[in-house]
Amino acid sequence: MFVILVYDFRERRVAKALKISRKYLNWVQNSVFEGEISKSNYVKLKKELERVMDSEEDSVIFYTFRSTKYSKREILGVEKGNVDNII
């Protein structure tokens, strides 16, 4: 499956969220990651983020896709991450 992850963590926890997200996905911009991931790794990723997050202050949104056939990705301006898996 393909995942786009966007997080909004308080500053004191953001380094942890970055480290975890990078283990599983490609960093593309600011607090945005994407990539192909197995179901089991997706479960692991969510568990690891849940462990470090404060669920009353922090937020993570996952967009998951069975197929990327129906989606497109377009960039304006700087391409910040080095993306291996582009939609």
Shortest spacing between CB 72 and its own copies, in angstroms? 5
Cβ nearer to its own copies, comparing 38 with 71 = 71
Question: Which tokens belong to 26?
Answer: 């490609």
Q: At what angle do helices 39-52 and 11-24 cross, to 10 degrees?
A: 170
Q: Which residues contact 51 (CB under 8 A, 6 or more apart)?
A: none
- The three-state secondary structure class of 58 is coil
Q: Is 82 in the site for its own copies (CB under 8 A)?
A: no
Within 51-80, the residues that bind its own copies by CB under 8 A are 53-67, 69-80
Q: Is 11 in the site for its own copies (CB under 8 A)?
A: no
Q: Is 22 in the site for its own copies (CB under 8 A)?
A: no
